[in-house]
Amino acid sequence: MSSTKNVKHQFPKIKELAPLLKFKGPRFNRKKARLADALTIWDLRTIAKRRTPKGPFDYTDGSAESETSLERARQAYRDIEFIPNILRDVSNVDLTRESLGSNFSMPFGIAPTGFTRMMHTEGEIAGARAAQKYGIPFSLSTLGTTTIEDVVAAAPNGVNWFQLYMWKDRDASMALVDRAKKAGVKNLLLTVDVPASGYRMRDYRNGLTVPPQLTPRTILDALPRPAWWMNFLTTPAISFASLPNWPGTVGELLDYMFDPTMTFDDLSWIREQWDGTLTIKGIQNLEDAKKAAKYGVDAIILSNHGGRQLDRAPIPLHLLADIKKEFKKDFEIHIDTGIMHGADILAAVALGAQFAYVGRAYLYGLMAGGQLGVERSLEILQSQMIRNMKLLGVQKLDELSPKHVRLLNRNN
């Protein structure tokens, strides 16, 4: 039996309760309220799934075959153990980073993603403008749904990069490169891990096409999502900006368009025609990194294409330290795949990455709320990096080193 001898009870006093009664006023802007309640990228994913039809959401969320590559990449970041220093002055934290001749406010950019207007009608424009606002680069995909000229016009003060898939039609590929150059693009990201399309089972099961086909199934799926539905009906048709629309699935398009005969020798040919910085996206082992160095590339991106190509591909984070040891100043080492938290970016920087990219993390924000949603995703990642740098006891990114991280070994 509890005793009341140590406590004197009294009737509640209104004057004492009044300061405790703090009720939020009504929030009439539902989008802003919804986004403000999202505290993590995973929260944005939950909102995105609720507001986006299954086909576009699964295209973003899924990866190849068993989806093991993506899950392992994310698990690698979860397996990071941070080793902080205490009693350091961290009143001011600096996230700025120089990469490929430009200074950015944070050590990551927006990765190139295809069919982006399918996720939300604001598409690439929302991503480019959010990137401009936050001082980071935006990368437009060859499979984008907005032209490079329109992206640059929408974010004229931003840093806009262009990602190239080499098509079987080489002249058409280089015509895109020429357009990017004329639009003011300074960095070309050449993706090299698509000799064939990965088997993205969600897309095949959903029958995903660009633009989405209006079948009874897709209509029923879209009806509970009126905002996406109305945007789809009342804005210009979703289409590829750099190639014709395709009646089949996305995987079938990749197999039809992209060149499986491309080799390292083609890098010399591309290097001759492109006088800006050249980044090779899709390096997955040390041997290929060494070969890329011989062709004068400015940066490599350790990437398994977000797990969307080879199932059970190497984990980029696990490659990073060894490749960094081999190459000191040959080129910049960048990384993508699996990043869902600002601390993931810090871990990559500590292990030697000069720069990182987020794809799904920004697309979840886009689907959740257009440009405001993208901005919310960048705000979340920024706040997570600031907080974790303070907790690690570092003021600047250059202070991060392998001594701050340890990879847990789950085999022991």
Kindly list the catalytic residues: 305
Name 306's Cβ contacts closer than 8 Å, sequence gap at least 6: 63, 70, 111, 336, 337, 338, 359, 360
Residue 216: is the preceding peptide bond cis (ω within 30°)?
no
Q: Which residues contact 162 (CB under 8 A, 6 or more apart)?
A: 112, 139, 140, 148, 176, 177, 180, 185, 187, 188, 189
Structure tokens at 60: 């973003």
Q: How many residues does the chain have?
A: 412
Q: Parallel, antiparallel, or unpaired for β 102-104 and 97-99?
A: antiparallel
**Residues 143-173: b if buried by 16+ CB within 10 A, e if exposed:** bbbbbbebbbebbeebbbbbbbbbbeeeeeb
**Pairing assessment for the beta strands 138-140 and 187-191 based on DSSP bridges:** unpaired
- DSSP designation for 94: B
Rounded Cα distance between 409 and 412, Å, is 6
